[in-house]
Amino acid sequence: MSKAAELAALIGSQTALSNRNLIINGAMQVWQRGTSTDTISNGGYLCDRWRINHSGTDGNVDVDRSTDVPAGKGFGFSQKISMDASESSLDASDQIRVIQRIEGQNLQSLKKGTSSAELVTISFYVKSSVAATYTVNIRDEDNDRDNSKTYTIDSANTWEFKSITFTGDTTGALDNDNGRSFDLNFWIDAGTGFTSGTFYNGTWAAGDNTKKVSATTGWLESTSPEWYITGVQMEIGEQATPFEHRSFADELRRCQRYYFRMTDNTSQSSIMYGRGGGGGTAIVAAAPMPVPLRASPTITTTGAYHASDHNSRTSFTPSSIVASGWHYQSVNLGMYVAASSTITDDDRVCLIGGNGATTLEISAEL
């Protein structure tokens, strides 16, 4: 067989040679928010694009960037989920899972809702301190989850490769927009509220009694449990192909569509520009973004700022910063910066900068 024929057999005639992985940051390269926390909130993020949902775990869930990776596969990092202390018991409401949410407009190639709906294969490398049967499921905006699958970790504390194929979904349709249309869920553990009867507390659609996760894994009840994942790939077809390694710069830009952190460590630079408003107690500003954002974001900030106009510079701490001018094609984000006192002359052009250690977080997560 020729090299071209071998490649065609490996990739498949209907699969792109590049951009075939529908997952962003599957190699766990990008960590804009930091690389370690022992206080991850329910629904919080640390590793970009990977949401951590948990309940009943008393705030003990740790997330870390780890250099423990499968040997010889080209990965530099994995995402480590662990617990500082074991749970004394597993209640019905307890659960922990790692999730990636995907926009509908990135999934039209799945042909959902048609007779030619595509098979989807999820492949990944995983390692756990608890050998057990775990669940992966996919949830779409129609709450259609009959493609819920299990995989088995055969040996504790050993990297294993898993490949799971989900049948094409011929029902419903995904909205072709920038909204949340598809969740990929890696369940680490779950109490009986998620494993028997209906899903706990209306997590899934009412009356959906068949779409349950697997039996309890025992992970939450074990002593100092650990779970690692990397090399996550989701692609069309029933064959897992070699992981698509993208450049760090490429992966970073993909992540920054959903979250961007701007840090100014010097009082000599500026991070926004605009004009005074509100009688001088506010600034109507714009800040440059590295890429257009998915949606109008929420903005949080720490640290003090300074506002410089034609003849003065005033240090202040904003009382609020809100987005006021988002557009899906624009790399300039409008902001309204409010203060509790006069910070600049009304209508004067001004620059807004960090006052030594300013952090501006801009989130358009799904």
Domain boundaries, the chain: 3-256, 259-363
Question: Are the C-beta atoms of residues 339 and 281 closer than 8 Å to each other?
Answer: yes
CA distance 59 to 51: 15
User: Running along the chain, 366 residues long, what does each successive block of 10 average in pLDDT?
Assistant: 54 63 98 95 96 84 97 98 84 90 94 92 97 89 65 97 91 88 91 64 38 79 95 96 96 98 72 90 93 96 85 88 93 94 87 76 96
C-alpha neighbours within 13 Å on the C-beta side of residue 144: 16
β-partners of residue 166 are 120
Residue type (1 letter), 37: T
Structure tokens at 50: 């990977």
Question: Are the C-beta atoms of residues 296 and 281 closer than 8 Å to each other?
Answer: no
CATH code for residues 259-363: 2.60.40
CA distance 326 to 9: 45
C-alpha neighbours within 13 Å on the C-beta side of residue 71: 1
Can you give the pTM of this predicted structure? 0.91
- Of the options 3.40.50.11540, 2.60.120.260, 2.40.370.10, 3.20.20.150, the CATH number for the domain spanning 3-256: 2.60.120.260
Would you tell me how many other CB atoms lie within 10 Å of the CB of residue 321?
22
Strands 78-83 and 226-236: antiparallel
Would you tell me how many other CB atoms lie within 10 Å of the CB of residue 18?
7
The alpha carbon torsion through 173, 23, 49, 38 (nearest 10 deg) reads 120
Question: Are the C-beta atoms of residues 251 and 25 closer than 8 Å to each other?
Answer: yes
Question: Are the C-beta atoms of residues 265 and 357 closer than 8 Å to each other?
Answer: yes
Q: Residue 308's pLDDT is what?
A: 86
Displacement of CA 297 from its chain's centroid (Å)? 15
Question: What are the C-alpha distances in Å from 305 to residues 142, 146, 237, 325, 345?
Answer: 45, 51, 51, 21, 16
Q: Residue 268's pLDDT is what?
A: 61
